[in-house]
Amino acid sequence: MEKGDRILLHSKNCDAMFRSMFAAFRLGAVWGPTNFRRIADEVASLASASGAKAFLRRGDFPDHAATAGGARPDLACIRRIGTCTLGEANVPHETGQRAG
């Protein structure tokens, strides 16, 4: 991430959300939170229109990450923030850098 890069965040209000905001500001990145009530297709549209380089999401929204990644295959980073939800630990999840 570099100064001016855009980070899209999909999360309910939580400590991790605010930590991501402070980290983005420290990097000089543009932090763009979405409304957590948006459906996956709407978030994918925001990811595409915003030119986001990274997508952060809370553990409650795995479908949003997959859909945003499909809409914007050049995302450099898709990460989960906060705690995972029941059963998510058994599902492969984002590790940071995307392959490709």
- pLDDT (tens digit, 9 = 90+) per residue, 18-56? 999 999 999 999 999 999 899 999 999 999 999 999 999
Q: How many domains does the chain have?
A: 1
CB 20 within 8 A of CB 33: no
Give the global pTM. 0.78
CATH number of the domain at 17, please: 3.40.50.980
Six token digits for residue 25: 């500001």
Range of the domain at 72: 6-97
Answer whether residue 55 is part of any domain.
yes
Answer whether residue 86 is part of any domain.
yes
Answer whether residue 58 is part of any domain.
yes
**String of b and e for 43-58 (b: at least 16 CB within 10 Å)?**
bbebbeebebbbbbbb
Answer whether residue 62 is part of any domain.
yes
